[in-house]
Amino acid sequence: MLHIHGGGWVAGSPEMTDLLHEILMDTCNIAVVSVDYRLAPEHPYPAGPDDCEAAACWLLEHAAAEFGSDRLLIGGESAGAHLSAVTLLRMKTKYHAVDRFRGANLVFGAYDLSQTPSQRGVGLEPGNDLLDALEGSHSPLDLFLPGLPLEARRDPDVSPLYADVRGMPPALFSVGTYDHLLDDTLFMASRWRAAGNRTELLVYPDTPHGCIALPTVAGHFFPRLFEFLKGSLENSAVTRRTDTSLADATI
């Protein structure tokens, strides 16, 4: 599994999810490679996506020899979900190798960097989310995309919501309803499904960005994640269903 960490393109490191990766390794019997991509503002777009692309290309060539399997997964949280989607699109358009990826775990990602309504705070009560800063100036978006005008931010390599997503692998999308990236997940999951890709969508009521760390969410999310990853690798019935049900916040 190629994992791409979050941090708003400006922070974070591969080590921040070591515990999760150990659990994934033990539970799903997979190897995990996490990308130490360059961060903004010192290294704005396209440095981070280029590093993730390089890691994916290395796995395409070396995964079987290094890890004993050429079946690949990809995933990440927040900015990591965005970079995972961008990486998959580059694998499709530049290398015609997106079919090597059996599944994508896309957790509360940003997919329209020209900003969806929820990114702008529409429909959200102030103070309920960690990402209130997205509504103001000098946001992580501006550090990642310095000087890039609005229309240019809709380039599919920047905002995967605007890409042709036909032929993409099965994906598990997850988000909370207090999250500023709620619309991004809802819109992207809808386009993924409409393009004929196998899609699962988990929406957790009354939870903010980073909701999978909450005990009430984690107890539901992680079993679903383990099921999804195992099913993607085994090409089981899990990846053949489309599940867009609202997750039960009381679980």
Where in the chain are the domains? 2-240
Q: What pLDDT was estimated at residue 5?
A: 98
Q: Please identify every residue annotated as catalytic.
A: 78, 179, 209
Among 74-78, 128-132, 188-192, the least confident range: 128-132
Query: For tokens 């760390």, what's the residue?
Result: 213
Is the distance from CB of 171 to CB of 241 less than 8 angstroms? no
- Name every residue whose Cβ is closer than 8 Å to that of residue 144 and which is 6 or more positions away in sequence: 8, 9, 10, 40, 41, 44, 45, 48, 113
Which tokens go with 129? 């989310």
Q: What pLDDT was estimated at residue 127?
A: 86
pLDDT for residue 90 is more than 70: yes
Q: For residue 178, give Cα distances in angstroms to 148, 201, 245.
A: 28, 16, 17
Tell me the average pLDDT of the chain.
Answer: 92
pLDDT for residue 188 is more than 70: yes
If one compares 237 and 215, the residue with the highest pLDDT of the two is: 215
* β partners of residue 173: 106, 201
Question: What integer is the mean pLDDT of 111-119?
Answer: 96
pLDDT for residue 244 is more than 60: no
pLDDT band (50, 70, 90) for residue 206: very high
pLDDT band (50, 70, 90) for residue 136: low
If one compares 95 and 127, the residue with the highest pLDDT of the two is: 95
Q: How would you classify residue 127: left for phi > 0, otherwise alpha for psi between -120 and 50, otherwise beta?
A: left
CATH number of 2-240: 3.90.1640.10, 3.40.50.1820, 2.40.128.20, 3.40.470.10?
Answer: 3.40.50.1820
Among 10-24, 117-131, 170-184, 201-215, the least confident range: 117-131
Q: What pLDDT was estimated at residue 241?
A: 41
Is the distance from CB of 181 to CB of 175 less than 8 angstroms? yes
Q: State the first-to-last Cα distance of the chain, in angstroms, to the nearest integer.
A: 28
